[in-house]
């Protein structure tokens, strides 16, 4: 479906991570090369790569960069260094759990390798890490595909879907989460419209979702965030699809700021509200959404657009990047493992313990 790569590892263990620079879209399609952990940290922090699954996949490769940075050490010392760099990468963004999930998985891979091969060369450790990072990438592609298949039936034929932020191909290694059912419906020749919220302050909807859907030939209409309620009242929206950055054990879901009010509007207008997310976005250690850490972003993201001031100098700003939608407002969570309707702790536990 997508004719670009959100991220890809180029070369062997001495290679690097190439990213589509999402800060530049839609004006410019450019790619950047991350050859150091620091470069990747900056790319995540400044949203050159963004979206929970893509951040997780990028972090996996980040550990391969960390391993490169200690290639002249013994394998055991390299593992110590990898742990430090993983802790550093973990500080880049706090909300998307995929980041921590991928870093944990890579640390475990390093530990397992060293336990099983105490006398191995550092290069062998690096090969095993690159294989694991590539596995995370491939699994993400597969998860997106299955979310698409599982969610396609909820895309209303002849109707319209509203989406918020960008949970498309740009946010994953594959075709996206919230947008995967939309791409699948297009493949099945279903006719429908998509409304994309512009998604202030960083405009992921306008800059990325509108770009991505238009590229794919999907009928997309851009709206300002504050227009969603009116459209719902006018009967123009038949379903809402968003992604998630972290889903607690009871189904409460953190996603881009503005998702929670949409869920309330959806309830008030009797419109189904779907969250699409892979299992790597669930944080079953958290009982509910109250303990999901919410990232606070710099004030300039609100006071400026493209470096042009739109607010008085030194005005106080509140800029949380995410909000939490309570499980009771979610019609269903679409995962690669299946669909959890009216999600709750019991149903979520069940889907994760099934073979
Ligand atoms: O700040 P961002 O752009 O990383 O926020 C992204 C979102 O909120 C997405 O909806 C979420 O990560 C799901 S992406 C498949």
User: pLDDT tens, 269-288?
Assistant: 999 999 999 999 999 999 99
Give the number of other Cβ atoms within 10 Å of residue 337's Cβ.
15
Mutation pick for ligand 1 pocket among 98, 148, 255, 330 (CB with most ligand atoms within 8 Å): 255
pTM: 0.97
Q: Which CATH code for domain 147-354?
A: 3.40.50.10470
Ligand 1 atom closest to 242 (CA)? 10
Parallel, antiparallel, or unpaired: how do β-strands 160-163 and 31-34 relate? unpaired
Q: Which CATH code for domain 7-145?
A: 1.20.120.420
pLDDT of residue 1: 57
Nearest protein Cα to ligand 1, atom 8 = 256
Ligand 1 atom closest to 50 (CA)? 4
Q: Are 114 and 91 in contact (CB under 8 A)?
A: no
Ligand 1 atom closest to 168 (CA)? 15
Nearest protein Cα to ligand 1, atom 10 = 243
- Map residue 34 onto helix, strand or coil: strand
Evaluate whether 7-145 and 147-354 have a shared fold: no
Catalytic machinery residues: 245
Mutation pick for ligand 1 pocket among 52, 140, 323 (CB with most ligand atoms within 8 Å): 52
pLDDT of residue 354: 82
Nearest protein Cα to ligand 1, atom 6 = 51
Burial 281-290 (b: 16+ CB within 10 A, else e): bbbeebeebe
How far, in Å, from the CA of 229 to the mean position of ligand 1?
A: 22
Give pLDDT < 50 ranges for the chain.
none
Taking only the tens place, the pLDDT of each residue in 186-243 is 999 999 999 999 999 999 999 999 999 999 999 999 999 999 999 999 999 999 999 9
Angle between helix 75-89 and helix 52-68 axes, rounded to 10 deg: 150
Task: List the chain domain ranges.
Answer: 7-145, 147-354
CB-defined site of ligand 1, < 6 Å: 47, 50-53, 96, 165, 167, 171-172, 176-177, 204, 242-245, 255-256, 321
pLDDT of residue 355: 58
């Amino acid at each position: 479906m997508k004719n670009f790569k959100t991220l890809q590892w180029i070369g062997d263990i001495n290679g690097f991570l190439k990213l589509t620079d999402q800060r530049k879209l839609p004006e410019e399609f450019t790619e950047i090369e991350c050859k150091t952990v620091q470069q990747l940290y900056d790319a995540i922090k400044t949203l050159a790569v963004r979206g929970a699954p893509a951040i997780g996949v990028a972090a996996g490769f980040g550990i391969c960069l960390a391993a490169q940075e200690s290639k002249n050490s013994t394998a055991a010392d390299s593992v110590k260094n990898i742990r430090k760099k993983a802790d550093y990468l973990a500080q880049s963004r706090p909300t998307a759990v995929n980041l921590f999930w991928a870093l944990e998985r890579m640390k475990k891979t390093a530990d397992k390798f060293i336990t099983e091969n105490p006398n191995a060369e550092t290069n062998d450790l690096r090969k095993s890490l690159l294989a694991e990072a590539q596995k995370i990438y491939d699994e993400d592609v597969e998860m997106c595909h299955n979310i698409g298949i599982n969610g396609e039936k909820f895309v209303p034929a002849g109707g319209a879907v509203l989406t918020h932020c960008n949970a498309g191909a740009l946010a994953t290694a594959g075709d996206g989460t919230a947008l995967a059912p939309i791409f699948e419906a297009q493949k099945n020749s279903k006719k429908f419209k998509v409304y994309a919220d512009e998604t202030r302050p960083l405009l992921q909807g306008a800059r990325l979702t509108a770009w991505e859907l238009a590229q794919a030939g999907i009928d997309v209409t851009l709206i300002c965030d504050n227009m969603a309620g009116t459209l719902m009242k006018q009967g123009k929206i038949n379903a809402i699809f968003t992604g998630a950055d972290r889903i607690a054990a009871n189904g409460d879901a953190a996603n881009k700021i503005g998702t929670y009010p949409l869920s309330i509007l959806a309830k008030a207008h009797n419109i189904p509200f779907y969250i699409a997310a892979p299992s790597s976005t669930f944080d079953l250690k958290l009982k509910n959404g109250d303990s999901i850490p919410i990232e606070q972003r710099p004030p300039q993201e609100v006071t400026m657009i493209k470096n042009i001031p739109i607010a008085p100098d030194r005005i106080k700003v509140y800029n949380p990047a995410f909000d939490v939608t309570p499980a009771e407002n979610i019609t269903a969570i679409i995962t690669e493992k299946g669909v959890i309707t009216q999600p709750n702790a019991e149903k979520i536990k069940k889907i994760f313990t099934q073979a």
